[in-house]
């Protein structure tokens, strides 16, 4: 019960790492308000959890929608102790592809803008909405989802890597700016995690991915949820401004 009497807000909580984190926090005693853009998954999960937890359909890229949600959570529960900025998307494409001297393919402006809006601006929107509540109550913990792609880069992910690198930068700034109000801000950087996307791959493709990390396996969503839990709890009370990799020991170029 490491989160007993805590109120946690979690974005992208209806599936994958987000869902595992919601369940982990509930099991550890937190009251959880989670959001997602997939209403069917969100409502189905909410039926499993029941009260006092809550679900809202929220697009984190929509500033006014985020503010209304956070205001309602603060009004309902009276406080917000933890923010997990987990929501994120990918729209992978090569930056440019030239064949015989002619441009044949490139990442679209729409794909770039959408990933920036969700993965970077969404984190900004949610944190700025929650921070005043945490300041008034005298503290809190904010954990942002970065990625090894933001630290090392990844082929075909100009947009995604840019957002995840940006999250690392914002995490450091906010740790400095909010630390005086007893608010800790950290980030996690997952590597290959066994989500639905990887599970949908052919077995031989999954086996190939397993060979990349030194630990020779793909991480689980529960392992990522455990790291979120540690950084959200008082066990990490003197850790702030950090980005912690959870990637099985992957080293760029190996």
**Spatial separation of the C-alpha atoms in residues 163 and 153, rounded to whole Å:** 11
- Residue 254 reports pLDDT greater than 80: no
Does residue 11 surpass a pLDDT of 50? yes
The Cα 250–Cα 57 span in angstroms is 35
Using alpha carbons only, what angle is made at residue 145 by residues 121 and 191, rounded to the nearest 5 degrees? 130
Question: What's the rounded mean pLDDT across residues 8-31?
Answer: 98
The phi and psi torsions of 143 (rounded to 5 degrees) equal -125, 125
* 253 band by pLDDT with thresholds 50, 70 and 90: low
pLDDT in tens, 166-213: 999 999 999 999 999 999 999 999 999 998 878 888 899 889 889 989
Nearest to 2 by CA among 21, 23, 27: 27
List the structure tokens of 166.
């940006």
Token couple for 73: 């959570």
**Packing angle, helices 122-137 and 63-77, rounded to 10:** 30
* Cα-Cα end-to-end distance for the chain: 39
pLDDT digits (tens, 9 = 90+) for 35-49: 999 999 999 999 999
Measured in degrees and rounded to the nearest 5, phi and psi for residue 147 equal -170, 155
Beta strands in 14-63 (DSSP E): 31-36, 54-57
Q: Where are the domains of the chain?
A: 7-246
Helix or strand (DSSP H, E) at 7? strand 7-10
Q: What is the pLDDT of residue 252?
A: 65
Question: Mean pLDDT of all residues in the chain?
Answer: 96
Could you list the active site residues?
160
Cβ-Cβ contacts under 8 Å for 21 (sequence gap 6 or more): 10, 13, 84, 86, 224, 225, 228, 229
pLDDT at 251: 74
| Per-residue model confidence (pLDDT) at position 201 | 84
3-state helix, strand, coil in the chain (%, to 5): 50, 20, 30
Instruction: Judge contact between 148 and 130, C-beta under 8 A.
Output: no
pLDDT average, residue stretch 219-232: 98
Cα–Cα distance, 209 to 196 (Å, whole number): 14
What is the pLDDT at residue 39?
97
Residue-wise pLDDT for 116-175, tens only, equals: 999 999 999 999 999 999 999 999 999 999 999 999 999 999 999 999 999 999 999 999
Tell me the CA distances in angstroms from 188 to 108, 142, 172, one per residue in order. 28, 11, 12
pLDDT band at 83 (very low <50, low <70, confident <90, very high): very high
pLDDT at residue 168, as a whole number: 98
CA 16 to chain centre: 11
At 191 the pLDDT is 94
Q: What is the CATH architecture assignment of 7-246? A: 3-Layer(aba) Sandwich (3.40)
């Amino acid at each position: 019960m490491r989160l007993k009497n805590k109120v946690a807000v979690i974005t992208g909580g209806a599936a994958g790492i987000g869902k595992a984190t919601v369940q982990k926090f509930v099991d550890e005693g937190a009251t959880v308000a989670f959001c997602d853009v997939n209403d069917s998954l969100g409502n189905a999960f909410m039926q499993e959890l029941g009260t006092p937890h809550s679900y809202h359909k929220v697009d984190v890229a929509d500033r006014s929608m985020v503010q209304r949600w956070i205001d309602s959570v603060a009004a309902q529960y009276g406080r917000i102790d933890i923010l997990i900025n987990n929501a994120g998307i990918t729209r992978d494409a090569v930056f440019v592809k030239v064949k015989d001297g002619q441009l044949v393919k490139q990442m679209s402006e729409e794909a770039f803008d959408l990933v920036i809006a969700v993965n970077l601006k969404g984190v900004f929107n949610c944190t700025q909405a929650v921070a005043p509540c945490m300041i008034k109550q005298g503290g809190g913990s904010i954990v942002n989802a970065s990625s090894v792609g933001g630290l090392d880069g990844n082929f075909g992910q100009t947009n995604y890597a840019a957002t995840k690198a940006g999250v690392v930068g914002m995490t450091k700034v906010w740790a400095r700016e909010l630390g005086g109000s007893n608010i800790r801000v950290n980030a996690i950087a997952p590597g290959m995690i066994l989500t639905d996307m990887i599970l949908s791959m052919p077995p031989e493709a999954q086996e190939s991915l397993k060979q990349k990390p030194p630990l020779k396996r793909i991480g689980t969503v529960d392992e990522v949820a455990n790291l979120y839990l540690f950084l959200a709890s008082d066990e990490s009370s003197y850790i702030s401004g950090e980005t912690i990799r959870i990637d099985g020991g992957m080293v760029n170029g190996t």
